Amino acid sequence: MRCTINLSPLLITLKAVGKKLNDAAQCYSDALKQLSKGRGNIVGRIEELKKMSASTSRQLPKRLIDTDEESNDDALKSIG
C-alpha cells in the first residue's frame, strides 16, 4: 500500500498567508509614514505646539519624532 501526502493545498495556503502578512506590513508602514512624514503630519504639528509652549502631559515616543529613515525602519521593526 502506497501512502502519499498531497502538500499542494497547504503550500498554496501558506503562500497566501505570506502575501497577506507582507501586505499588512506594507499598510502598517504606510500608516506610520503618514503619521510622521510630510507636510502637516500629526507628529510635526504636536512638536510645533510644544515649541509654542503648549503644556503636555505626555511625550511622543522618540521613534516617531526622529526623521531619519533608518530610525523609522527600526521603529517599525520594534513596534511590529
State the Cα–Cα distance between residues 63 and 44, nearest whole angstrom: 13
- Let me know: does 75 contact 66? Beta carbons within 8 Å: yes
The whole-angstrom separation of Cα 61 and Cα 4 is 54
Question: Where do we find the cell 504639528?
Answer: 45
pLDDT at 25: 97
For residue 1, being part of any structural domain is answered with: no
Determine, yes or no, domain membership for 32: yes
- DSSP one-letter code for 37: S
pTM: predicted TM-score of the whole model, two decimal places:
0.52
- What is the model's pLDDT at position 27? 96
pLDDT tens digits for range 22-60:
999 999 999 888 888 877 788 888 788 878 876 667 777
24, part of any domain: yes
Total domains present in the chain: 1
Classify residue 45: in a domain, yes or no: yes
With respect to residue 29, please indicate whether it lies within any of the assigned structural domains. Answer: yes
Domain around 62: 9-79
Q: Is residue 33 included in any domain, yes or no?
A: yes
Average pLDDT, the chain: 78
DSSP-derived letter for residue 58 is: S
